[in-house]
């Protein structure tokens, strides 16, 4: 299933980090991608986002301000099938 793209706005990019705000209107997705570096996600809203990976589909309950991290090489598609916008900030460590 192809959904419209979520909106990514790069806030900071330098030799050490890239900070991107992601806004997921209902029904949007990132599209399949691979993270080349370790990264941290800081949810700005509370709700659920879906995560498709080669291992299957997972629904993640996220809480505003409760961060998590992933290692380089993570391949997935993130999507919002909820009724409200979901926002998070992604900090990629170069």
Residue 78 lies in a domain: no
Whole-number Å distance between alpha carbons of 35 and 1: 21
Residue 11 lies in a domain: yes
Total domains, the chain: 1
> pLDDT digit of tens for each residue in the chain (94 aa)?
789 999 999 999 999 999 999 999 999 999 999 999 999 999 999 999 999 999 999 999 999 999 999 999 999 999 999 999 999 999 999 9
Instruction: State pTM to two decimals.
Output: 0.95
Indicate which CATH number applies to the domain containing 41. 2.60.120.10
Residue 40 lies in a domain: yes
Spatial contact of 29 and 3, defined as CB atoms under 8 Å apart: yes
Residue 1 lies in a domain: no
Spatial contact of 78 and 30, defined as CB atoms under 8 Å apart: yes
Burial label, 82 (beta-carbon count in 10 A; 0-12, 13-18, 19+) = middle
């Amino acid at each position: 299933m192809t959904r419209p793209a979520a909106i990514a706005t790069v806030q900071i990019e330098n030799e050490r980090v890239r900070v991107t705000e992601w806004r997921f209107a209902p029904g949007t997705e990132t599209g399949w991608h691979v993270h080349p570096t370790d990264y941290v996600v800081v949810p700005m809203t509370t709700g659920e986002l879906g995560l498709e990976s080669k291992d299957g589909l997972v629904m993640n309950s996220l809480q505003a301000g409760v961060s998590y991290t992933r290692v380089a090489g993570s391949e997935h598609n993130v999507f919002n099938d909820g009724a409200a916008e979901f926002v998070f900030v992604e900090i990629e460590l170069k």
